[in-house]
Homo-oligomer: A and B are copies of this chain.
Amino acid sequence: MKSSVERVVEIRTPKAIMFGVGASEKLIEHIKELTNEHVLIVTDQGLVKAGVVGKIKKTISNADFKVSIFDGVKPDPNKECVYQCLNLVEAKDAKVLIGLGGGSSLDIAKVTAALRINGGKITDYVGIGKLPRKGLPTILMPTTSGTGSEVSPIAVISDPDQHTKLGIVSPNLYCDLAIVDPTLTVSCPPNITASSGMDALTHAIEIYTNRVSVQMIDTLVLESIRLAGLYLKTCVHNGEDIIARTGMALASLYAGLGLGPVNTAAVHSLAYPLGGTYDIPHGLANSILLPYVMEFNRPACKIKFAKIADALGVKGVEKEDEKAKIAVEMIVELSKEVGIPQKLREIGIPKEAIPKMAETALNVKRLIKNNPRKVTLNDAIAIYERAY
């Protein structure tokens, strides 16, 4: 395995991470450490209808906190959503934001908390290290196993004007407390479980095979890949299995911990235009593209792909070349088994959009520059075409 002698890595985490079944029961004692004033839950209407939000709200109000709900988060939310949330934060003078949901709700909570303290517009902070100060205190509670946003310094907001996504990356975006309670993922429906699980797997694979990968993070993400291989199918087909849900929650958390120090690569770059222009949910966009990008990257990643095959439980194969090939096949197999569409045409992308999408993807420079194999415009077009 590659040694970390090549590069100094900086690891940051939220002030605390609570992990495990029942972790969300610790919410109140942690809110008390942060405020005795108004608390705002940032979430989506699906979780309100499912009763998840009401239960958390009741716990908080029973503990004598004032608590409001912003449930306007949509999948892959845009800038407008942040400003709506910010209006409510200001109106209530909320002192702590709780992001409760998938990556979209967590990211809206992070960016809103940041704007409340730093002022200005979202676009002022797009890029790496442009957020001068920490925002309002945030507690993030994922209800899917995929995003990793609860432990990352990154938030991504859609920009319909530019047909892409805006990434804000700053140590000031780490939340104060990540509560990763697998219980919260049990009600996640099979299709979202599948695409968010494949999203976690995409994070792990892109971090592991990254041009700036480091041994310290490799350990975590290789274990993430192993856990996804063991547990994702069960989570999709039997969502009540708490051992499988715990395994996937850990897979997602480990991959999330690598997002700050290493981050993702070409799959994410190529997925952004699918979300930015065609509203394809982030996890689904990544899931579809992952095998095609892996196949493109394979010549540059033979040793690591072989180790991915090992982590996924390949047996009786010795040659690295062969194992690397099998790794891609195993990912395709897993993707199919959990019901991910295998082609862009199945999700309503017009074929003539490919050249423009390829151009947009290459502009996500902060990610594509770290892909293990250099991606040219023609390469990007070819990958989209193979995926079509």
Q: Which residues from chain A sit less than 8 Å from chain B, CB to CB? A: 3-13, 15-23, 25-26, 171, 182, 214-216, 219-220, 223, 242-243, 246-247, 250, 253-254
Contact = CB atoms under 8 A, between A and B. Distances in A.
Contact of A19 (B3, B11, B250): B11
A250 B216 contact: yes
A220 to B, nearest CB: 7
A273 to B, nearest CB: 34
B18 A15 contact: no
Given A11-B13, A12-B15, 19 more contacts: A3-B243, A3-B246, A4-B20, A5-B20, A5-B21, A5-B182, A8-B19, A8-B21, A8-B23, A8-B26, A10-B17, A10-B18, A11-B18, A13-B13, A19-B216, A20-B214, A215-B250, A216-B253, A219-B223
Contacts of A11: 13, 16-19
A243 B5 CA distance: 7
A313 to B, nearest CB: 14
Contacts of A243: 3, 5
Contact of A242 (B5, B15, B19, B182): B5
A17 B12 CA distance: 7
A12 B5 contact: no
Which of A6, A11, A171, A243 gathers most chain B CB within 10 Å?
A11
Contacts of A247: 3
Given A215-B250, A220-B219, A9 B15 contact: no
A235 B328 CA distance: 38
Contact of A5 (B18, B25, B216, B246): B246
B19 A9 contact: yes
Nearest to A23: B8
25 contacts: A3-B246, A4-B20, A4-B21, A4-B246, A5-B20, A5-B21, A5-B182, A7-B20, A8-B19, A8-B26, A9-B18, A9-B20, A10-B16, A10-B18, A11-B13, A11-B17, A11-B18, A11-B19, A12-B13, A12-B15, A13-B13, A19-B214, A215-B250, A216-B250, A219-B219
Contacts of A220: 219-220
Contacts of A214: 19-20
Contacts of A171: 16
A4 B216 contact: no
Nearest to A30: B10
A16 B13 CA distance: 8
Nearest to A224: B219
Contacts of A20: 4-9, 214, 216
A214 B215 CA distance: 22
Nearest to A181: B8
B23 A18 contact: no
Contact of A250 (B4, B10, B12): B4
B13 A8 contact: no
A122 B97 CA distance: 37
Nearest to A247: B3
A12 B4 contact: no
A12 B3 CA distance: 26
A242 B5 CA distance: 8
